[in-house]
Structure 1
Amino acid sequence: MDEKIRVVIVDDHQVVLEGFMARLEREPEIDVVATASNGVEAIEVVKSTLPDVVLMDVSMPIMNGIESTQVLKEELPNIRVLMLTMHDNREYIMKVMQAGAVGYMLKEISAEKMVQAIKTVYQGSTYFCESVTQTLFSQEITPVVAKSNPLSRREESVLRLVAQGCSSKKIAQMLDISYRTVETHRQNIKHKLDLHSTAELAKYALENGLSS
């Protein structure tokens, strides 16, 4: 990787913040460019530093991580937000997805997995730590809105794998089709559903029972 991944860390607990910084400062491919201790600070810091990835705590004073993520995604739609939390219940996960975050991981995650998560979302995929994935995909999901499904079976298969955080290269390998074909399917899915990002695709899959 020629350029370092520029990261902002947001957490209201100083000890946790320093712990995350210590983990990431050992990584030659990652540069922690700033920190913040609440959602309002996070918005200001992210606007001034324009990082590649934001590690965002969910529960914070003044403005929580979900609210600040919504603001950031409206004003800086290309920002990649990875949500950090102690909670792995489905309600929290869905709120995070709806806010526009592209990943969700528990604070107890190992340093190795945290780095993997940052690299994954930086490269354009979604990331959910293992326990969160189990929470999401082990439960029956009732569609929020009953709609006729415009997707072909192959497009549904691609969408399911996108929702699980798989890259186009990985999907091509799993479905035994070319990378270009996967990219074509992804563009067709976005067009049919009027969606514009990987996070929106994953959210649609979760809400319409196409995630498992």
Structure 2
Amino acid sequence: MTITDAGHVDSGDWLVGNPTSLQLASALWIGSVGLLILGLQPVLLGALYTEGHVTGDELALVATAEMIAIAIGSGVVAMLLPARNMRRKSAVLLVLLALANFWTAYAITPNSLIAARTLAGLAEGGLVAVATELIARSRRAERVGGYFVTLQTLAQCALALLLALYAVPAAGSSGGFVVLGIVCLISLVVARIVPDDYADLPK
């Protein structure tokens, strides 16, 4: 196989564009950060309830607001915004999510918690779109999608274990959300590796 042939094999994995393995992994990680909360809600929201910050009904509203916001955020980024300047968009969304998590850590009323988690959900949905938009450009979307699910699940399990054993017992729900915010800020390093412009999908 010639060098030219090898290049054709690599690009054959993609409908458009040709991101490297590292760029793909970085985009999948950014999307996984947006879905970390799905595996952490039992720990973090459960701690909020145990500490008396919310009632059962208010807890349901907090969780529902965030889930709806994730769907809206993902749709806005995927359908209404062009897949350009993805590094900058990833960085902005990560900072926004970090701020929302820090806000949640110090929110003192149910309404402020709902507002903070709604903001977090919008940012999380946008981060998910960073991954799904790249997956949509793969000829093997089912395989790359499997990588995405595996990565996010492992990240959720590892962080949930860390929070349940250390952060929440030591600092309560506030400590858990602070840790989540710190993860977002650390992920800014990964955002610099995301492909900056995704090639346009064919009609």
| TM superposition score category, shorter chain reference | under 0.3
Q: Which protein, 1 or 2, shows the higher relative CO under an 8 Å CA cutoff with sep ≥ 6?
A: 2
What is the TM-score with the length of structure 1 in the denominator? 0.24
What TM-score do you get using the length of structure 2 for normalisation?
0.25
Asked which structure has the greater CA Rg, the reply is 2
**More strand by proportion, 1 or 2?**
1
